[in-house]
Amino acid sequence: MNVDYASIAAARARTTAHPGSMMSQRVCRSLHIHGRVQGVGYRWALCAEATRLGLTGWVRNRRDGTVEALVNGDLEAVDKLLAWAQHGPPMARVDRVTASEGNAGELSGRQGFQQIATF
């Protein structure tokens, strides 16, 4: 499995902490998952894991054979989903996961985590 740690580290570094804040740090990440990730329950499983972690956002197949997700929530929960995404469900074969800063504005009005139409 090829994990793009540089993009993950860069996305995390762009998140600024608020010293002294007791509130959880919220982040938004855009994920692209490459490998055998369509037709193996990847979207359903990612949606279930994100819901379990209390995240909001969406996941969808892309016509190029990848899976894309926009994930918003507590930094620790987003990091846990990112770690899960690197292996996915049992039938998946994840070759690479890239993460970048996401646009939380795209989630305006959405609640929970859901599968959306292929792009």
Catalytic residue among 2, 26, 60, 61: 61
* Catalytic residue check, 43: yes
* Catalytic residue check, 61: yes
Contact 76, 21 (CB under 8 A): no
40 vs 91: CA distance, rounded Å: 6
Closest CA relative to residue 36, chosen from 89, 81, 76, 78: 89
Catalytic residue among 26, 29, 43, 103: 43
Q: Which residues are catalytic?
A: 43, 61
